[in-house]
Amino acid sequence: MNPTETAIIKEEELDQLLLELAEQYGYDFSHYARASLRRRVNRLLIVDRFPSFAELLYHLRNNASYLKRFVEEITVNVTEMFRDPHAYRIIRTQVLPVLATHPFIRIWHAGCATGEEVYSMAIMLQEAGLLHKSLLYATDINPAVVEQARLGIFPMRHMKQYSENYIASGGTREFSDYYTAKYDWAKFDDRFKKRMITATHNLVSDRSFNEFQLILCRNVLIYFDKTLQDQALQLFDESLEKLGFLVLGTKENIRFSGIAHKYAPIAEKEKIWRKIA
Amino acid sequence: MAQDSLRRQRLVVIGGSAGSLEIVLSIVAGLPALPHAAVLIVLHRKQSADSVLLGLLAGRTSLPVREVEDKDPLVPGGIYLAPPDYHLLLEGRHQFSLDDSEKVHHSRPSIDVSFESAAYAYGADTIGILLSGANADGAEGLLRIKERGGDTLVQDPATAEVYYMPQQALLLHPGHRVVAGNQLHQALLEYL
């Protein structure tokens, strides 16, 4: 089988798969961006060696346990610490000083994947002397990655890159002071974990659950179609205090969404907005 | 005019890696207005160099050049550049989408990913061009374009700064049209 063949799964097969996932398991992927989703399903057919689409469908129907793997593999969980350091630099210099004026700070990382960005934020809060009065909510659709986020243990091989990102974001401490190295793993200090609440949350079907001064949702909306993007942005709007901040991925935008008129850009290129209405 | 609007819209997808920048600029330089085609450029590049490349391209053409953001519309006449660190896909014929999933051939953006997505959306209306480079990215994708009836051009490896990438495409499928680097601009015009 050719690993890069694009047309293994037909459009009507993908439709059928999405319908059954929604009906049997309550996972609604129907408004995920189609081209990317098709690639993910094709990839899974190859990686898990299904001889045909019918086999995958049969397996999903009859093995509830396979659903867990399916969701893990269909959703993209790529993340890193201090990814796009410029965005973090602006959060450090322009957002945190505003948050500092609040008696209590609530931050939501929506679609946090394995949690690297949550720990990055916690480090910045610590350095700004704000961690003790902050709570970081980290949510993702995928239970497996939420568990990883809760542990705060990341591969040692990435620490050199993360350390460079940290410095580029304006960090001036010794990055390695924040974790303990053990074999191939870096375990981040427990004081960060103590300020975090991790949970599964599905941006498609779950509601707003609190009000925040800062919401970050980076490189999650790219996997949604415009309808679902708009719905998710509405959810963020409902969950954000007036004068709160919204941070998206550097190639994502609120420009054409229903909430655009309520937000003013803080940093156009880094995709940071402030809710003004 | 009525006939004009019935002409098929084409998508030109250009992929390149090491040693491809000058060729890309020479292809784009002096392109006429393209009411029936859009150009998509996918280059392997460092994340920090993004605005430099955009400026270089814009300096060579009067056509609008844009680095793609998620869900941007694809409009005929435009030149589009894949952003660093994302795969670039097409949602149907008129919308882009981005994807930050695993690297393909150690690359994000991957030329294979965009070529395959273009072949899927534009079929026989795709024109794929693969240039100089030091890895095998693009070979599979170019074959997908060919299989769907699109036109495929490969920079003559003998004229490439790094021959490996165009050579891989030709090893996988010898039927692509082979064109010297400095002739690619002229060759492309035949299809537009």
CB B114 within 8 A of CB B11: no
Instruction: Tell me the backbone φ, ψ of residue A127, rounded to 5 degrees.
Output: -70, -25
Determine the pLDDT at residue A6.
Answer: 45
Same domain, A131 and A249: yes
Q: How many domains does chain B have?
A: 1
Catalytic positions of B = 17, 44, 137
User: Taking CA B184 as the corner, what is the angle to CA A5 and CA B123, rounded to the nearest 5 degrees?
Assistant: 30
Residue A2 resides in a domain: no
- Residue B182: partners with Cβ closer than 8 Å, 6 or more residues away: B26, B159
Asked if A33's CB is within 8 angstroms of B86's CB, the reply is: no
Residues of chain A with pLDDT under 70: 1-7
Same domain, A21 and A138: no
Q: What is the pLDDT of residues B86-105, one digit of tens each?
A: 999 999 999 999 999 999 99
Give the number of other CB atoms < 10 A from CB of residue A250. 24
Global ipTM: 0.91
Domain that holds residue B105: 2-189
Same domain, A60 and A181: no
- Residues constituting chain A: 277
Determine the pLDDT at residue B26.
Answer: 97
Q: Which of A63-72, A205-214, B35-44, B163-172 has the lowest mean pLDDT?
A: A63-72
Q: How many domains does chain A have?
A: 2
Determine the pLDDT at residue A227.
Answer: 96
Reply yes or no on whether the pLDDT at B191 is more than 60.
yes
Reply yes or no on whether the pLDDT at B1 is more than 90.
no
Same domain, A29 and A149: no
CB B122 within 8 A of CB B108: no
Reply yes or no on whether the pLDDT at B5 is more than 60.
no
Residue A3 resides in a domain: no
- For residue A130, give the CATH number of its domain: 3.40.50.150
Q: Which of A51-55, B45-49, B152-156 has the lowest mean pLDDT?
A: B45-49
Nearest to B120 among A6, A219, A223 (CB): A6
CA neighbor of B141 nearest in space, from B98, B96, B87? B87
What's the mean pLDDT in B119-137? 97
Residue A1 resides in a domain: no
Residue A239 resides in a domain: yes
Q: How many CB pairs under 8 A join A and B?
A: 67
Residue A125 resides in a domain: yes
CA neighbor of B95 nearest in space, from B124, B116, B75? B75
- For residue B184, give the CATH number of its domain: 3.40.50.180
What's the mean pLDDT in B138-162? 98
Nearest to A253 among B69, B121, B140 (CB): B69
CA neighbor of A12 nearest in space, from A53, A59, A58? A53
What's the mean pLDDT in B10-32? 96
Q: What's the mean per-residue pLDDT of chain A?
A: 94
Same domain, A34 and A145: no
CB B66 within 8 A of CB B74: no
Same domain, A179 and A93: yes
Report how far residue A9's alpha carbon sits from residue A42's, in angstroms, rounded to the nearest whole number: 7
Residue A268 resides in a domain: yes
Residue A184 resides in a domain: yes
Mutation site, A2, A46, A164, A222, interface B, largest B CB count within 10 A: A222
Determine the pLDDT at residue B47.
Answer: 64
Domain that holds residue A66: 11-74
Same domain, A66 and A95: no
Residue A255 resides in a domain: yes
Determine the pLDDT at residue A9.
Answer: 87
**Quick check: A262 contacting B, CB < 8 Å?**
no
